[in-house]
Structure 1
């Protein structure tokens, strides 16, 4: 019999991955570059190991698709009804810059859509999670909390969104990947609104939308599936949407090509 997924398990796994990330962050470290010129550090590798071992221990029946795992052919994964989609260290560029804006992302995908997502920012010690049908939440000083059940985790966390009904439209944009199209989207909003633009790294941009601190997160530049799944789960659980640029349909996952098209997250 399959065991129901517990966010408390993911909380423990994400915090342990975060500890290994911060151990590398505190020292000088080497940076490698993968075939697509994206950076890779020892922290990426250590986090991947902790997460993949933790998920396999608790949920051995669920396959894992991770940025730092082996490439899994589409023929092998196309019929997966449930699987984990993982980015062990989202925002490696921010990690290298040492600006604290990097995260651990774990999402549960069911029939092509994220139904549960967790994002942990280890340098900020903030844990975000979203559960379809139950809501989205934020736990500050996460590592100081001992949690043994989902009920306890939710009880200790703040429900999202926290911020509502502002006079200013807030747009969050990538700190490392601002595109001309994103700037054009912002300029269009400015024609009829007062707009503030906030820069942020990694999947924390989704978290700002879920919190209500940002109204829009336009990403008119490439991402990969593991970059967005956990954030989408949290935004949607908080009452927002993440839709494709070309047809405004809900973003979905486990496509043959794991490269995402453009999207807009909004609350």
Structure 2
């Protein structure tokens, strides 16, 4: 087991453990919730998952950028070769709606580029993970005892994007918002393809839809933060997809001075 496989396993175990504590809160009849300064919701599930992940990743020696941590200033972060980028509970709005479409996102970045990614779906116990260097991504189901049914990197769990189709294209859209810029992008596709279908999902599952071939393209022309996208980018990159800025056409980079992402498109 190389360093990446060992580190990836730590991230996988952290995501599953975090998912377990998230579901313990999800199944309560009542749980605490508040609004953060940016008016986004924060629940006790976010905080419990954050605590678990911070503890689990601590002995890797790599610093963590997380939605729920007080993150270091860029003066310190700019010298980090490796760092974790974490969203302990991506899709808090979906969690509150109780629709099951929320995830735990954990990525390891090297010089601003995601090299390992884990997305765990606590409600369905689906686990997506990828090693970008190996150019492989996988999807498996965690059993009722929160253990992996298969070995890590089991060939039968590999996922692949769909082959491009000249007549039809499936576009990932958000359940929560579809703005005018996205509608214009879809209108342009309708001139190019006979069939344009919209596939809706919450949270970082939108990346997974393209990576496993259920959708073909994911335009995101609304604000996201680095922890929303790093794990999904790793999974998409590992299967040969691009996660590029809409304007520059260059890959999204991480551990930037400003942790806000530019608009981007996931595509072949």
User: TM-score, normalising length from structure 2?
Assistant: 0.92
Mapped partners of 1:263, 1:224: distance in 2: 12
Deviation, 1:6, is 2.8
The residue number in structure 1 matching 2:235 is: 234
Residues 94 and 146 of structure 1, relative CA distance in 2, 3 Å threshold: closer
The residue number in structure 2 matching 1:154 is: 153
**Secondary structure, aligned partner of 1:124:** coil
Q: How many residues align?
A: 262
The residue number in structure 2 matching 1:73 is: 73
Mapped partners of 1:162, 1:141: distance in 2: 22
Matched, 1:11 2:12: yes
More moved, 110-119 vs 21-30 = 21-30
Structure 1, gaps ≥5 residues long: none
Alignment of 1:101-250 (within 5 A): 101-134=101-134, 135-142=136-143, 146-147=147-148, 152-155=151-154, 158-161=157-160, 163-164=162-163, 168-193=168-193, 194-250=195-251
Alignment of 1:42-57 (within 5 A): 42-57=44-59
The residue number in structure 1 matching 2:26 is: 25
Contact kept, 8 Å, 2:161 with 2:210, in 1: the verdict is no
Contact kept, 8 Å, 1:127 with 1:142, in 2: the verdict is no
Residues 219 and 162 of structure 1, relative CA distance in 2, 3 Å threshold: closer
Deviation, 1:156, is 6.8
User: TM-score, normalising length from structure 1?
Assistant: 0.93
Deviation, 1:116, is 0.6
Deviation, 1:157, is 5.3
Mapped partners of 1:234, 1:24: distance in 2: 28
**Secondary structure, aligned partner of 2:228:** helix
Mapped partners of 1:126, 1:233: distance in 2: 17
Deviation, 1:147, is 4.8
Provide Cα deviations, 1:67-121, integer angstroms capped at 9, x if missing partner: 0011311111111110100000000000000000000000001011001100000
